[in-house]
Chain A
């Protein structure tokens, strides 16, 4: 006799946990299945926690969630070979009672979140992989797991199984993810004492800094890098579109080594001890690659749905938000006694579209394409901007007007007037 639940959540990452939590709290009978040994075992992230998304579900998360530092400063750097130019924002206002962003470590954080899901009443079973969806025609009626006697029924299945979205792909609910639609990112955790971090980054107590990086450091491949401060360690990582890695033949760990050697980065991590190394895929397909999000008896949330904002490097909040919205939709339908069919579950899609999630994804929908066609954005422009900055900031007896002329000439020589105009239009298209 097969067990039946109101909802089955496939995956115990941020989106799955958000969905499971939301539904269980409202009294639905929820089963969450995770293929890893424990929640978080298969998860890798930078990692930044966006309080807003979590707050909506667990307003007092700050009291017991394992948080590293709350972020008070963001730097955005464009790297040339041995220099960087960029901008940053820092504000003491972020030292508010309820800071907006934190750095976290996924292992303890996922453990905490999963505990909340269990406390809310969901049944969480790990080390169990969903092999396929049980179908009745085109309707999803449950899941089949890799355990013996592992068929379980549910009114609705929430697919939160990550970037590769294996379950949905196998069931034909969405197309397979292609190498040009994901980035492969590698990261290291460097242990450095709290005091050294505070001193080096000009922080006190639990304040934190985030540095987002792009430029020649990715050797023309489309990608970004980052450096985050945790309580007693630094997370540093770099990632590029998977297809680019294949085309360019540069191994990811080599990119990371170069990043660590860059004169702008090296002093920041000096003296640290590398104690962890991890790799993961990140959805980068953008708005245009978001698949069908719902159907008869199923919804897709989080990375499975490609919800990553490449420009602002937001992913976990989109995951939590979509998970939460899916949960709310399902609770609503259950309360109204409505079927979990395509027509009714459309409310989930509508929620997502009405929110910042889809609006932001839509805004940057052209970015992947633009970057792919204009790799010089990541090589030539960082070079030009760095050189320009260098010129302007060097006091060497040359008058400023001449310097500006020089800089203008460099830009024109490099890109030509027409090129510059085209680039300008591309950028506007990409971020409008």
Chain B
């Protein structure tokens, strides 16, 4: 079976810093990573391949630098990678991105039919979770999002059964291939690739496609032109005007500090103890 996994390279948001003077995002030295949500989908695709055979192709749309993210996927065990890169794709929002990716996947199909397309639930930078649905619609795929587990795959009947997270539980749903799946975060852990995977990642020359390779591409459907949403401005969140009032105790013991804290809290919030009692009582009642 052939799975195509769509990934995105994003700045590692845990290391993003705002420059305190210029208030801009400091990209210098912030490493780029594979969008963490995509890795859950990649792992699911790799597990299916391990069980049913076939291959996993990872594709991303981005600048040349995105080859790093693809190399990372190779190091996790992906079989093939493709970079879709062209100036006309720049400035794409999610609708335009799904347009471009769908052209590319159609191109992949020419040599190797695709059974499943995996996407990450959303990206951490930009993040509307709409690329998946866009691809599903354009390519005629059944859409399965928030999947927590792939329970069953019937190769003969070409049907897949998954668990899908919903409010208060999971739906067990079955649909026909081809399908698009986005995995919920935390449902698996991306494997640590073998040494051979690591070598492959370091030695492979990533295949790059431009618009001409997947065309003809209608320029009005991709890039900035193809994006119905417009970013009006980017700004730093308003800092809460006051910093924390620090609490200290003269006597350095934890107990003295604890008492000092309670004193301050109660002074600021007189009904604290009563509210706590109510809360405790309510919780006891629920058990």
Contacts and interface: CB of A to CB of B under 8 A. Distances in A.
State yes or no: do A and B touch (Cβ within 8 Å).
yes
A38 interface: yes
A123 B193 contact: no
A125 B21 contact: no
Nearest to A144: B195
A322 to B, nearest CB: 26
Interface in B176-234: 192-199, 201-203
A191 B202 contact: no
A62 B193 CA distance: 37
Contacts of A150: 194-195
Contacts of A125: 198-199, 201-202
B195 A148 contact: yes
A38 B31 contact: yes
Contacts, number: 52
Interface residues of A, number: 28
A330 B39 CA distance: 41
A248 B176 CA distance: 69
B195 A145 contact: yes
Contact of B20 (A37, A107, A146, A275): A275
A127 interface: yes
A219 interface: no
Nearest to B31: A38
Contact of A147 (B21, B28, B192): B192
A151 to B, nearest CB: 8
Contacts of A147: 192-195, 197-198
Nearest to A108: B29
Interface in B1-55: 17, 19-21, 28-29, 31
A273 interface: yes
A33 to B, nearest CB: 9
Interface string A195-211: 00000000000000000
Given A37-B31, A108-B29, A123-B203, A275 B195 contact: no
Interface residues of B, number: 19
A143 to B, nearest CB: 10
A105 interface: yes
Contacts of B67: none
B85 interface: no
Contacts of B29: 105, 107-108, 111
B75 interface: yes
A3 B199 contact: yes
Contacts of B193: 147
Contacts of A3: 199
A124 B202 contact: yes
B75 A191 contact: no
A149 B195 contact: yes
Nearest to B12: A37
A152 interface: yes
Residue of A41, A105, A149, A151 contacting most chain B CB atoms (<10 Å): A149
Nearest to A41: B31
A273 B23 CA distance: 12
B21 A149 contact: no
A273 B20 contact: yes
A149 B196 contact: yes
A232 interface: yes
Contacts of B31: 37-38, 41
Closest 6 CB pairs of A and B: A107-B29, A273-B20, A150-B195, A148-B194, A147-B195, A149-B195
Given A147-B192, A148-B192, 10 more contacts: A3-B199, A105-B28, A105-B29, A123-B199, A124-B202, A125-B199, A127-B75, A128-B198, A148-B194, A149-B195
